[in-house]
Structure 1
């Protein structure tokens, strides 16, 4: 009996690995049409508030401003690490032990793995799977592809997903034409995109926007090196 159970579990794990690797390999080349988060958010909403705006665009049609803003705000070591920023994780852990306000230490790679393949609720199972998928995308995709998928999938407003939809929703223009201030305003809402507004921005979002713009100026024009 136990042999059958272990054999079944072994097959289950094997099929999960095969399917997950296959899906990650597929998304290396094709756009991600939807994510679990998009579906969950849609069905969580009432009929009056149901919104699902998402349009995939290639990296060439996403302003370098918002690419740089995302890295400066969310993960300044993005091009250097292998998916995990150990120092940021340790700082977040120490911070969370001291207070009630939870701070995340996730990299852009981890956020991409979570948004594209998993569900939003925190649990040890999800964190373990997030680590697994982060390892896969860092192994199979380039850094540029990870950023491209991230900027096309991240929630940037209530029911607004990806830079193109966010640019049209907040500033009535395409993602290719976003300037530094607009890009920083959009990225500034990422801690809580369902409650914060990029335009008109609250005082808190304006402060975050100004900080992000300063970081962008400090780092200068970002050179996207796809070599790992």
Structure 2
């Protein structure tokens, strides 16, 4: 009798962890959710809250821009993509060079995640700067360059991509030194200081999180 009890306990010891693993695998989904940024606000500057209590957040608005490679990029181009938004301006001094150096690191994730790319906004009257970016990138699909008319640059930067948004911890960081992370639904999921390598490391980790979560959904 004791032999059967011992055998039963041994089987239970071996099988129980497997059952737990299968339960977690089948019935649960492990997510690390990133926060959302830029809540929509009413005329009194209060965040707009839905009837279920959820805050309504900004999604990238309709836009259409030419690229330095002769094509067009628009809101439709961003659907289903994970994107890092940046901007650089001339003269390309120390901050600009640091931004390009860090973006060269970030673009490498495109190889593992084909639905990810970097989008850099540049004045259309800046061919020298555009050439510098092209020299830094690996492939066109990993790093796209959108050319923006000077007359619309500030509007596009703030009203469409929100790179000038007031973000805690980044108030003193210029838009040229910022990066933003946009998910596949057009929501902004993070802002980062390009001049801080640790911030760029965090960005790259959070890109992986978004891509991992999307594959699980």
Which category of TM-score, normalised to the shorter sequence, fits these structures?
under 0.3
Give me the TM-score of the superposition, normalised by structure 1.
Answer: 0.25
Give me the TM-score of the superposition, normalised by structure 2.
Answer: 0.25
The structure that is helix-richer by fraction is 1
The structure that is strand-richer by fraction is 2
Larger Rg: 2
